[in-house]
Chain A
Amino acid sequence: MSRLTLWPVAASEQAVRIDALFAGLLVLAGVILVLVGGLMLVFCARYRRGSRARRGELPKILRRDVEIGWTAGTLFLALFLFWWASSLALRGNEAPPDALEIHVVAKQWMWKTRHPGGAREIDALHVPRGEAVRLVMTAQDVIHSFYVPAFRLKQDVLPGRFTEMWFRATRTGAYPLFCAEFCGTQHSHMGGTVTVMEPEDYARWVAAQPQEQDLPGEGAALFTALGCAGCHAPSAAVHAPRLEGLYGRPVQLADGQRVQADAAYLRDSILQPKRAVVAGYEPIMPAFEGLVDEADLQRLVAYIQSLGEARR
């Protein structure tokens, strides 16, 4: 048994802010609990049967006025808490554009991570301290949840969809990673370690990893192999949307909607191109649903991303 702690280590920028909110709520809840519990105990002692405390008529103020008062008071308090919590949630919502992008694939019962340079890990993730890290995650089977208590962050990882989370680690060290969404037999074994390193140590670590072709490189090979290049390459004769600089840009669709060309959009457009046709193009692209797996999709999306991100 290790030594007793009551407050978990805070190792990310978000953790510090969330801890402040948590502490605030703790104080508030404590005050309310002491108030209600204290009043109950005082009343129970003072107005026990047969005590000589004065009873009789309730003071006038203790009727409708006080009732309306504490209803309004509680409502204002609730609205204040909503404002506090939500402004905090919105503040940390968007990842910075220059965040280091790491891909995560969850499967029963394993975490696979992949760094921009192509380094791969299983049940482990090394990240540099002080740099924003964006995780782009998907699952191969059921829903999992990527949970690092020291970062106070958790995000469900879904099959057939990309979800994202980002953090900026502030303390070096090794922190437990858990799967937080029940995912079958060995759910409780599906954990790992997130190691926060100094940036130069991280650079050294990445360099020491066996270098494979990186994700965009593999994506480029697939892009040709699957025939995508036949239409989407700049030299192609077919009238198809160009992909250079597409990533992150708003796209005008044929049905009048505008969508952001993010990973989820690209993914959907590869799998079911007819769902969101770009304005000015014929819906001629075949659906790749069932032809490419999740890992291939990540490669393709990474390749498209590498063709140049639009200015944000």
Chain B
Amino acid sequence: MSEALVQRDIPDAPAPGESYLTAGTGLASWLLTTDHKRIALLYMAAITFFFFLGGAGAVAMRIELFTPQADLLSDDAYNRAFTFHGVLMVWFFLLPSIPNILGNFLLPLMIGAQDLAFPRLNLLSWYIFITAGGLAIYTLLAGGVDTGWTFYTPLSTAFANGHVLAAAAAVFIAGFSTIATAVNFIATVHLLRAPGMTWFRLPLFVWAIYATSIVMVLATPVLAMVLLLIFAERAFGIPIFDPLRGGDPILFQHLFWFYSHPAVYIMVLPSFGVISELIACYARRRVFGYSFMVYAILWIALVGFLVWGHHMFVSGQSMLANLAFSFLSFVVAVPSAIKVFNWTATLYRGQIIFDAPMIYALGFVGLFTIGGLTGLFLASIPVDVHVTDTYFVVAHFHYIMVGGAVSALYGGLAFWWPKITGRLYPEGWARFAAVMMFFGFSFTFFPMFVMGFLGMPRRYHVYVPEFQVWHVLASSGAVVLAAAYLLPMGYFAWSLVWGKRATANPWEATGLEWQTASPPPAENFATPPVVTQAPYDYHPEHSGPPAIERAAQRPQGHQP
């Protein structure tokens, strides 16, 4: 397989050793590239753009919610703002963020491959993504959509006035990009591992991306199906969900959550991988319980398919179904807890350095723990009945997906930035931004737990004045959070011009991606690497790092 790639690339291949950034210039060399590293950067540009757009929706909401009455937005404008925020952030930011930026860039490097298994499919998936994103932006410009990102029927099919079909089509198309990427990742992990890179020598980031890809391939078709059914009912009047004509509105929720609950794991599993890499490197320790970490990822990926009904405890679902889904939801909490314990244990007897990526990682573990623990509240049927569809749920899933996944994305970007660009960013600013993100996030979202428990329903444009104090706290925190998101974009951009040149392995990490130049050459490795041992060899096994001074790390493999 890899031989075939080499042969095909030879005619226009640059001189060996030239950085992927300078191998070929001009717009066409980027837009027609099949280099996974360049495609990762294309994704980074597109996803950052969507992050800004989705963020603008959040800003509009937080300003509006500063006071109980309506002042900035009309009812419809507010409904369109949160729908747009949800649709963009879920499908055009969170889902593709870590897999398509960091995964695309790092997966081949980490397993010692020259590229993904299907480089042209990789490029195609970016164009599909851009098409879908263009349609999403069209939806916004045409006037938006007001169903919430969940598209609940019969509201979306028979009552909503917005551009439901355009939004659904955008999401439908984006799904093909997701599936193409996932198939590519699965094939790559199966086929292109370097000699000696056995399954249980894979870095946890690779395991996480692999498990995520499997979930993507299995879950996304269900989303496509349910969106097609919406299309059938709204565009052609075929009654599927409309109860007045024999349809079943609950059917939509079953299908939607059958996709959307696994989608939560698509968003958060990759961040588990990132955090494991970061904590091991900055604690200078082997990941505690590597094999349990792998099994936990696989367990989550599997059981994550079986818990969708916990979104529907008050939907009119039978008590028996509620009990079954409650049980499975408690069961799926266990592997997440194991991961938190293992990350904590990895710190034990380490040589911990508090660089920016590590601060993001520690913040992640804290926020993810709170997000996970509040998941236990929501898995309990009686408590869920009270707090579902309130700000408690809003806070819970933002803790997982923003406090968790976005922290991991920023931490991962900081960690691999020198590898991606060959430049070092100012460490002091980065640490400041990481700390600010943790506190900004907590000030924004913790008050939402309180007001949710007090009974503040979600998706409310105007609200009862007694909740105002919590909304003011949340809106103020959001200012800090927004600054913490913008600041890194500033110093990352600064580093591209003025940043110091990075060495091949500035953090002295063990992964194969650090065994090649920063930025890597177009073909990744001058000669294919040979893997000789398990990942995370930061110290001799069973003896731990010495006191005071850190041990020399041993790379996972080398180029013969």
* CB pair A183 B369 closer than 8 Å: no
Question: Can you list 27 pairs linking A and B with CB atoms under 8 Å apart?
Answer: A7-B453, A18-B383, A22-B383, A32-B369, A43-B344, A43-B352, A47-B348, A53-B349, A54-B547, A55-B547, A56-B547, A71-B334, A85-B381, A89-B322, A89-B381, A142-B152, A142-B159, A143-B155, A147-B455, A149-B386, A156-B314, A159-B244, A182-B147, A184-B159, A188-B457, A189-B75, A191-B464
Q: Which of A74-82, A111-119, A209-217 is the interface stretch?
A: A74-82
A153 at the B interface (CB under 8 A): yes
B243 at the A interface (CB under 8 A): yes
Interface size on A, residues (CB 8 A): 87
* CB pair A182 B148 closer than 8 Å: yes
Interface code B349-376, partner A: CB below 8 Å = 1, 0 otherwise? 1111110000000100110011001101
* CB pair B382 A159 closer than 8 Å: no
* CB pair B154 A142 closer than 8 Å: yes
Tell me the nearest residue of chain A to B353, going by C-beta.
A49
B134 at the A interface (CB under 8 A): no
* CB pair A184 B365 closer than 8 Å: no
B507 at the A interface (CB under 8 A): no
Interface code A183-202, partner B: CB below 8 Å = 1, 0 otherwise? 11111110100000000000
A56 to B546, CA, bound (A): 6
Minimum CB–CB distance for A289 against chain B, Å:
8
* CB pair A55 B545 closer than 8 Å: yes
Residues in chain B near residue A301, CB distance under 8 A: none
Q: Other than the known A51-B547, A147-B389, what 19 A-B pairs have Cβ atoms closer than 8 Å? A: A7-B454, A25-B383, A29-B374, A36-B344, A43-B348, A44-B362, A47-B352, A67-B289, A67-B292, A78-B333, A81-B379, A84-B380, A147-B455, A153-B385, A156-B316, A163-B316, A182-B155, A184-B155, A186-B75
Tell me the nearest residue of chain A to B247, going by C-beta.
A160
Tell me the nearest residue of chain A to B464, going by C-beta.
A176
A191 to B323, CA, bound (A): 30
A238 at the B interface (CB under 8 A): no
A154 at the B interface (CB under 8 A): yes
Which of B148, B249, B326, B458 has the most A CB atoms < 10 Å from its CB?
Answer: B249
* CB pair B373 A8 closer than 8 Å: no
* CB pair A71 B388 closer than 8 Å: no
* CB pair A55 B544 closer than 8 Å: yes
Minimum CB–CB distance for A192 against chain B, Å:
12
Contact A47/B351 with A75-B334, A82-B327 known, Cβ cut-off 8 Å: yes
Residues in chain B near residue A108, CB distance under 8 A: 159
A185 to B159, CA, bound (A): 10
A254 at the B interface (CB under 8 A): no
Residues in chain B near residue A291, CB distance under 8 A: none
Tell me the nearest residue of chain B to A163, going by C-beta.
B316
* CB pair B344 A39 closer than 8 Å: yes
Residues in chain B near residue A29, CB distance under 8 A: 373-374, 376-377
* CB pair B154 A143 closer than 8 Å: yes
A185 to B160, CA, bound (A): 9
A311 to B373, CA, bound (A): 45
* CB pair B154 A141 closer than 8 Å: yes
A51 to B547, CA, bound (A): 7
Of residues 142 through 156 on chain A, the ones whose CB sits less than 8 Å from some CB of chain B are: 142-143, 145, 147, 149-150, 152-156
Interface code A211-241, partner B: CB below 8 Å = 1, 0 otherwise? 0000000000000000000000000000000
Interface code A69-104, partner B: CB below 8 Å = 1, 0 otherwise? 011001100110110111011101100000000000
Interface residue SS majority, chain B: helix
Interface code B214-243, partner A: CB below 8 Å = 1, 0 otherwise? 000000000000000000000000000001
Interface code B281-314, partner A: CB below 8 Å = 1, 0 otherwise? 0011000010010000000000000000000001
A51 to B365, CA, bound (A): 23
A203 at the B interface (CB under 8 A): no
Interface code B65-103, partner A: CB below 8 Å = 1, 0 otherwise? 000000000011001000000000000000000000000
B497 at the A interface (CB under 8 A): no
* CB pair A58 B544 closer than 8 Å: yes
Residues in chain B near residue A123, CB distance under 8 A: none
A131 to B250, CA, bound (A): 32
A37 to B370, CA, bound (A): 10
A208 at the B interface (CB under 8 A): no
Interface code B40-81, partner A: CB below 8 Å = 1, 0 otherwise? 000000000000000000000000000000000001100100
Residues in chain B near residue A58, CB distance under 8 A: 348-349, 542, 544
Residues in chain A near residue B353, CB distance under 8 A: 48-49
Contact A152/B344 with A49-B351, A187-B79 known, Cβ cut-off 8 Å: no
A32 to B375, CA, bound (A): 13
Residues in chain A near residue B463, CB distance under 8 A: 188
* CB pair B382 A21 closer than 8 Å: yes
Residues in chain B near residue A52, CB distance under 8 A: 547-548
Interface code B462-493, partner A: CB below 8 Å = 1, 0 otherwise? 11111011000000000000000000000000
Minimum CB–CB distance for A177 against chain B, Å:
10
A25 to B453, CA, bound (A): 13
B461 at the A interface (CB under 8 A): yes
Q: Which 3 pairs across A and B sit closest by C-beta, in order of nearness?
A: A149-B455, A160-B243, A85-B380
